[in-house]
Structures are given as C-alpha cells and as structure tokens.
Amino acid sequence: MPNEAFPSIIVFDVNETLLDITTLEPLFDRIFGNPGVLREWFAQLVLYSQTMTLSGLYSPFGELGIGALKMTASIHGVNIADTDVAELKERMSSMPAHPDVLPALTRLQDAGFRMVTLTNSAAGASPTPLEKAGLSSFFERAFSVAEVEKFKPAPETYRLVAKELEVETSDLCLVACHLWDTIGAQATGCQGAFLKRPYNDMLPATNVPVPDLCASDLTGLADEMIKRRRST
C-alpha cells in the first residue's frame, strides 16, 4: 500500500482474537473426555451462526452456543445437564486475554490509533468479558452484531461500525484470527489484518482475499500497523 494511508481506526474481533477460548477446554474434557471437542463445538457455532444469517434468521450467539453444545453432545451420545450449560455461560463470560494482547493494545494506543471491538456475542451487563479481562479501557466503543441481527461476515456488521463512527469502511482495519472475518471485512471495503492463532490459517484458493497484514502474534501485528501508519 505505498500510496494509501493506513486506517487510523482498528476494529478488533473478540472471541479467540483477544480472549483465550482454550479456557473452555476443562468443560469439554469433563463432558466428552476430550478437550479437543471444544474445536468441534466452536466450528459448529460459527457454521450455524452464518447459516442463520444466510437464511435471513437470527438467534443470539449465546443461545446458538448452548444449542451447539447440546447438538455436539447428541452427536457424541453424551447427556448435557443444566449445570453444564451454566458452566459454559460462566466460562464464556470470563475468558482471559491472550498474553500478547495487553502489550499490543498499549502500543497501538500510544501510537494514536482509535480502537473498537466488533463481536458476534450480544452486549451484556457490566462487568462485560472485556472488563473482566482488563481490556475495556482501550476501546472507545464495543459493537455487537445483535444491533443488525446478522452475524459476521455479513456486510451489514462492518458497515454498522463505519456508520456509527461516521467514517467510510475504508477508514477501518479489522483484526481477527479467523480468515472468514477478514474476508468479509475486506469484501466490504475495510482492510484486513490476520492473526495466526492456533487452529486458524490462510486459505489458498482462487479469489480468496489475501489479508493486508498477517502475523503470528498480536504484538508483531501491532508493530506492522504502526510502521505502515507512519510511512503514509
């Protein structure tokens, strides 16, 4: 991007990008005897959230998460108790930040970037997951797709952020560890910064947008964003 100004507003995905979902593994280990079933559950949750949007339907992300847990249990022939659902809710609301998040956000804040979040999860009462993780002070707004009742990567979700901030989508750079999220953002005119967390990687296929930035940790990604901003 030699002749383009790098966006000054960074939009962060939350679950797995900022907050560590591996802290849910003990629940899946206890229920299924295999902590790896977490990834199966999460994939079903993402799949069916996007299916609902493509079908013109909406159900809150948390409710889909509970449904996906029960569906995964049924597939594995396991019973789910009310206490299991309660534990899922509690763990989802109190996930810690990844170790690289605090230093990365500090660098971006010190460099003058505006930062907001955009999550599939519905907005909740205080203390929010970001507040519990000690991250909320970095962000001027926390957006939820519940406002448009469509899940990412629907174009309306990214346009919501641009509309509320009174900017163009080209003024935004989405940071996510899910390539489907950066694909959606880039297709809507945003820039995309891809974070290579475990279980997520590039998709080498025709017409799949290549992220504008890519790094294996958030501090490295932050440094690259600062470098690009200063060079334009």
Same domain, 130 and 56: no
- Could you tell me which residues come within 8 angstroms of residue 215 by beta carbon, excluding any fewer than 6 positions away? 193, 194, 195, 196, 221, 224
Report the alpha-carbon angle 47-55-51, nearest 5.
0
Query: If you search the block for the tokens 């989802």, which residue do you land on?
Result: 92
In which band, very low, low, confident or very high, does the pLDDT at 3 lie, cut at 50, 70 and 90?
A: very low
- Residue 116: the pLDDT is 98
Per-residue pLDDT, 188: 98
Give the structural domain span for 220: 9-20+95-230
- Among residues 93, 124, 149, the one where a domain terminates is 93
> At 131, is the pLDDT very low, low, confident or very high (cuts 50, 70, 90)?
very high
Averaged confidence pLDDT in the chain? 96
Of residues 123 and 121, more confidently modeled: 121
pLDDT (0 to 100) of residue 14: 98
Residue 81 has pLDDT above 80, yes or no: yes
* Alpha-carbon span 173 to 8, nearest angstrom: 8
Q: Are residues 53 and 109 in the same domain?
A: no
Nearest-CA neighbor of 80 among 71, 70, 89, 88?
A: 70
Residue 118 shares a structural domain with residue 139: yes
How many domains does the chain contain in total? 2
The per-residue pLDDT for 47 is 98
State residue 230's pLDDT score: 87
Is the pLDDT at 89 greater than 60, yes or no? yes
CATH number for the domain harbouring residue 64: 1.10.150.240
Kindly state the percentage of the chain with pLDDT values over 70.
98
Confidence of residue 124 (pLDDT cuts 50, 70, 90): confident
pLDDT at residue 190 is higher than 70:
yes
Contact yes or no for 158/183 (Cβ under 8 A): no
Q: Do 71 and 100 have their domain in common? A: no
Q: How many angstroms separate the CA atoms of 168 and 159, rounded?
A: 8
Do 130 and 69 share a domain, yes or no? no
Q: Are residues 115 and 83 located together in one domain of the fold?
A: no
pLDDT higher than threshold 80 for residue 226: yes
Contact in structure between 176 and 186 (CB atoms under 8 Å): no
Single residue among 93, 115, 130 that ends a domain in this structure? 93
Residue 222 counted as domain residue = yes
Dihedral sign of CA atoms 6, 9, 12, 18 in order = positive
What SS3 string covers the chain?
Answer: CCCCCCCCEEEECCECCCECHHHHHHHHHHHHCCCCHHHHHHHHHHHHHHHHHHCCCCCCHHHHHHHHHHHHHHHHCCCCCHHHHHHHHHHHHCCCECCCHHHHHHHHHHCCCEEEEEECCCCCCCCCHHHHCCCHHHCCEEEEHHHCCCCCCCHHHHHHHHHHHCCCHHHEEEEECCHHHHHHHHHCCCEEEEECCCCCCCCCCCCCCCCCEEECCHHHHHHHHHHHHHCC
Digit-coded pLDDT (tens) for 19-62: 999 999 999 999 999 999 999 999 999 999 999 999 999 999 99
**pLDDT at residue number 123:** 87
Residue 228 clears pLDDT 60, i.e. is over it: yes
In this structure, the answer to whether residues 181 and 71 fall within a common structural domain is no
pTM: 0.95
